[in-house]
Amino acid sequence: KHVSFSYDGETDVIKDLSLKVNPGSTVAFVGPSGGGKTTLANLIARFFDPKSGSVLIGGENAKDIPKNELMNTVSFVFQNSRLIKASVLDNVRLGRPEADEADVMKALEAAQCSDIIEKLPRGIHTVIGEKGVYLSGGEQQRIAIARAILKDSPIIILDEATAFADPDNETKVQAAFTNLSKGKTVIMIAHRLSTVVHADCIYVLKDGEIVQSGSFDQLKAEQGVFSKMWSDYQTSVKWKVARRAEND
């Protein structure tokens, strides 16, 4: 409600912004780089507090929610999720330390990680980053999603979470997101507009303000920031496909 935020105390990067996300819905934040998308998500997760206004979760001010309760309520999957130098089991268990191996395996399967586990010398007991055991960005992302699935929090924030995935990994990451998102409130931050087509509501942020909101079809039909972004995105996709065809 009426949230403003500034990093330097002078220039507001979020300006008197109000919006409501209904429980169980999927919303997306899109817009030009520097528009405030990630900052807004950080305010929801309470990595920062607003300069003015309030962030409410379930009608309660996030500032009044005990830290542990808030951390159990919100899961955050970053665009460059990093794993610690520990076993896959321990990496996933960060989401719920008391979980047993069977629960961890279910989370890994839901996150489309079976192919990763099969190739590791000691399966889920393999230590990441030890003796030449390394995972690609997309594979690390899937392990991070397994951690969020195990945590099972009601609110999921996805920050450009397919940005570093190659095409094969992206398909698996998207399938993992589908499993992660079931029955959850999902807030997506995306540059790759194909990932927001099915969102219940898309908010277009520019210079810290919401300049458009609505479903994908509604925004595409309007002559505004989103339709221009979609047109540019389609052009870039065609260019990449053409370049790939030339290289083949």
Residue 193 is predicted with a pLDDT of: 86
The pTM for the full model equals 0.85
Residue 23 CA to residue 233 CA, distance in Å, equals 30
pLDDT in tens, 16-27: 999 999 999 999
Radius of gyration of the chain (CA): 19
Residue 52 CA to residue 34 CA, distance in Å, equals 20
CA proximity to 94, closest of 147, 143, 146: 147
Residue 160 is predicted with a pLDDT of: 67
Average pLDDT of the residues in 225-234: 90
Average pLDDT of the residues in 20-44: 92
Q: Is the pLDDT of residue 164 over 60?
A: no
Residue 97 is predicted with a pLDDT of: 95
Which three-class secondary structure state does DSSP give residue 125? Answer: helix
In the chain, % of residues over pLDDT 90? 63
Q: For 58-67, 156-165, 206-215, which range has the lowest pLDDT when averaged over its residues?
A: 156-165
DSSP for 197-235, please give it: TT-SEEEEEETTEEEEEE-HHHHHHSSSHHHHHHHHHHH
Instruction: List, in sequence order, every residue forming a beta bridge with 30; answer none if it has no partner.
Output: 204
Alpha helices, H only, the chain: 37-44, 67-73, 88-93, 101-110, 114-119, 137-151, 167-181, 216-221, 225-247
